[in-house]
Amino acid sequence: MQERFHSIQYLRGIAALMVVFTHLKEDLNGAFGLPDIGSKLFSHGIFGVDLFFIISGFIIHQSTLKREHSKPLTFVIRRAFRIYPVFLFCVLAFISIAPGTPQPVDLVKGLMFIPLNFDAPAPFFGYNFLYPAWTLTYELLFYSIFVIAICFSHTKRGLLASAAILFFVVILQLISNKHVALDFSSQTMYSQGIFKLLASPMLVEFVYGIAISVIITKLKLSKIIYILLSCATFSAFILLFAFDVSSYHGPLNYGIAGVCIVISGLSFERSGLLPKITILDRLGDISYSLYLSHIITFFALKYYILTPLNINPSSSLTYFIIAAGVAIAISNLIFRYIEVTFIRLGKNLTKYL
């Protein structure tokens, strides 16, 4: 049976919550008479995205440890049934409540996970129509590379996928810019979008996750060593933010902090000291639904409840708490009735392959 890592589950939930709080921070500014309290408390909330990418690399490698779970068609079907139904539901929900009609070309691009504008700054490239879904473009690109690696070798799938990602990032940047940048200080000159995505340093964070998965699977240490490793990497995580080393998206910024906190969590769990925290476990379950749906919840609250009642949510801790709570409650429903349903359907379909 595949090992279940509660630390990864907790971190998934925390990552989603960080993004949620980031999108609420402007409304918190001014609370308690402090004009920038929200911006200061959640200035690094977007770190949740980089943490998601590292965790995704880890989970995808772990979930394909068994050959029967890593047949290419099985992999594709299960990932599609996990990702697309919730995404499609959120897109339809957003269209139904947002004023105006989206441009058909933007809607089609969004539904196909194609960024809206490849000439816009990386790594967002104009975002998606449902703007948190810009990250799914990188997720699906990673899945594509990983499933091709599986086709060549199940045993070496992690190595092949990692090598392919690093090859694309390095070679395409060298050809385009004559140098390699693992941040976003320069843009690739390619006009073709797929090359800009393949050259993106964001893909390296999936490699981090794969590497951690390989190491944690093979590494067997004593309890005291795991504790020391957890303390050391957690201290490094804190220092990276304290000294502003980790300050933005990318493998050499938030990516390094993400590696530290993932290793810290896994090491602490392997030491046997990590408690079962039901609320964080559940938050991990709903993290994908929460990540995609929370902006829809916030939009509905503001424009269909607060605005008609002439209530200003600015500088309000009460609104911050209520909005976050409602977003979590709604994502619970989406997870239970949509996400779980289609995950099970995908698994049932692959039983016959």
pLDDT tens profile 43-91: 999 999 999 999 999 999 999 998 877 899 999 999 999 999 999 999 9
The interaxial angle of helices 254-270 and 6-22, nearest 10 deg, is 140
Going by pLDDT thresholds of 50, 70 and 90, the confidence category of residue 1 is very low
pTM for this structure? 0.96
**What distance in Å separates the CA atoms of residue 137 and residue 120, rounded to the nearest whole number?**
15
What pLDDT sits at residue 189?
53
What pLDDT is attached to residue 181? Answer: 87
Q: Which helix (H) or strand (E) holds 223?
A: helix 223-242
Q: Assess whether pLDDT exceeds 60 at residue 101.
A: yes
Mean per-residue pLDDT over the chain, rounded: 94
Question: Which pLDDT band holds residue 342 (cuts at 50, 70, 90)?
Answer: very high
What does DSSP assign to residue 93? H
Looking at residue 202, its pLDDT comes to 97
